[in-house]
DNA sequence: AATAGGAGCAACCGCGGAAAG
DNA sequence: ACTTTCCGCGGTTGCTCCTAT
């Protein structure tokens, strides 16, 4: 009856991952692709639960992950989506390429939540906490100065979802920050692609299976770049046939995570230019902490 | 220079739905 | 149809680093 046990609870290691463990996991997924997490620890030679492997991969080792703080545009998008989706972090993360649900969740709890509270906005309901607080929350001109602000969804356009439409739009109230983080043109385009069309955004709410909007855009662009090495090709250096990885895994940024153990270990050094290695090294500094 | 407190983030825990047998 | 397990998600914890005193 049923399936095999997920993993032997005895002897399963917990806590922070070591570089060696990361190497094993990356090496395994590079050659075998993502499948059957239950079998991964055993096959990869890891004393970890499959669940832990999946988490490590999706939150830290995945090829398409961005590093660093969310940009102002991304932050604004998170706020907008949270106003509509609530704490459905995975759904929100699906609309932000390179960001994980865990990352967004952490960023929400540590940054955005406080920011909204400071502005007199309830981070749960996106309603003003108090009328007075709301008045003094943010000068209108400061709000409108947000790069992404003009993309905000008009609440009235979605009465069905808009539980807070009776008051000022949460997304209108919470758009600005006092910091002057640089927002790139790409970020603005990101918001454009997602928020400019109310119908589009509504469809996000309706169709969970819809592919990531920005993913499609950015990955189409990436995939059109002939300079990018392809993961399967790299895996062939191991002399193994690799089941076709999802297209996202084709991004060369995946290899950045290999730096700790040396990209040469994978026979992938030919893939990088000096500039790319610089990026790799920067990324390494982050992973070295572990 | 030492230390306490806060902030940020990676990882774990537990639950629910889906799927295998 | 039912049991068992897998997978993914959201909430929470605890460690590490940073900053203020």
| Average pLDDT score over chain A | 58
pLDDT for A9 equals 53
Element (H, E) at A77: helix A72-85
Q: Specify the pTM.
A: 0.62
A108 touches strand B (CB under 7 A): no
Angle at A211 between CA A268 and CA A287, to 5 degrees: 35
A111 CB below 7 A from strand B atoms? yes
Q: What are phi and psi of A204, to 5 degrees?
A: -60, -40
Closest nucleotide to the alpha carbon of A86, via C1': C10
Could you tell me the pLDDT band of residue A188, with boundaries at 50, 70 and 90?
A: low
A238 touches strand B (CB under 7 A): no
* CA/C1' separation A37–B16 (Å): 19
Strand C closer than 7 A to residue A101 Cβ: yes
pLDDT in tens, A217-262: 343 344 333 333 333 333 333 333 333 333 333 443 444 433 333 3
A172-201 CB burial, b ≥16 within 10 A, e <16: bbbbbbeeeeebeeebbebbbbbbeeeeeb
| CA separation for the pair A181, A60 (Å, rounded) | 24
With 0-12 CB in 10 A as exposed, 13-18 as middle and 19+ as buried, what is A22?
buried
Residues 74-103 of A with CB under 7 A from strand B: 102-103
- Asked if residues A241 and A249 have their Cβ atoms less than 8 Å apart, the reply is no
pLDDT at residue number A183:
43
Strand C reaches within 7 A of the A124 CB: no
**The predicted structure's pLDDT at residue A60:** 86
Asked whether strand B has any atom less than 7 Å from the CB of A66, the reply is: no
Residues recorded for chain A: 290
Check if residue A1 sits with its Cβ under 7 angstroms from strand B: yes
CA of A232 to C1' of C3 (A): 39
Provide the sign of the torsion angle of the four alpha carbons A278, A248, A22, A240, taken in this order: negative
| Strand C bases with any atom < 7 A from protein Cβ | 2-12, 16-17
Q: Which residue has the higher pLDDT, A125 or A217?
A: A125
The reply to whether the CB atom of residue A225 sits less than 7 A from any atom in nucleic acid chain B is no
Q: Measured between alpha carbons, how far apart are the two ends of chain A, in Å?
A: 41
- CA A35 – CA A244 distance, rounded (Å): 11
Whether the CB of A132 is less than 7 Å away from nucleic strand B comes out as no
Q: What is the pLDDT of residues A26-85, one digit of tens each?
A: 888 888 887 788 888 888 888 888 888 888 888 888 877 887 778 888 888 888 888 888
């Amino acid at each position: 009856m049923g399936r095999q046990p997920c993993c032997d609870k005895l002897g399963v290691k917990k806590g922070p991952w070591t570089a060696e463990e990361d190497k094993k996991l990356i090496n395994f997924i590079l050659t075998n692709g993502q499948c059957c997490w239950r079998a991964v620890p055993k096959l990869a030679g890891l004393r970890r639960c499959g669940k832990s492997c999946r988490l490590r991969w999706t939150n830290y080792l995945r090829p398409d992950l961005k590093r660093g703080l969310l940009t102002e545009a991304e932050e604004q998008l998170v706020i907008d989506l949270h106003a509509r989706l609530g704490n459905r972090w995975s759904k929100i993360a699906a609309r932000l390429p390179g960001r994980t649900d865990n990352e967004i969740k952490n960023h929400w709890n540590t940054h955005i939540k406080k920011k909204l509270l400071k502005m007199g906005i309830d981070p749960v309901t996106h309603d003003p906490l108090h009328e007075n607080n709301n008045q003094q929350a943010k000068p209108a001109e400061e709000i409108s100065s947000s790069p992404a602000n003009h993309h905000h969804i008009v609440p009235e356009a979605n009465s069905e979802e808009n539980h807070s439409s009776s008051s000022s739009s949460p997304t209108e109230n919470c758009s600005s920050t006092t910091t002057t983080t640089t927002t790139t043109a790409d970020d603005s385009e990101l918001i454009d692609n997602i928020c400019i069309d109310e119908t589009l955004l509504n469809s996000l709410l309706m169709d969970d299976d819809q592919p990531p909007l920005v993913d499609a855009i950015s990955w189409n662009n990436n995939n059109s770049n002939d300079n990018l090495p392809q993961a399967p090709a790299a895996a062939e250096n191991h002399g193994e046939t690799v089941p076709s990885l999802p297209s996202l895994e084709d991004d060369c940024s995946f290899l950045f995570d290999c730096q700790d153990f040396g990209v040469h270990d994978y026979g992938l050094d030919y893939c990088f230019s000096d500039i790319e290695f610089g990026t790799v090294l920067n990324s390494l500094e982050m992973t070295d902490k572990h």
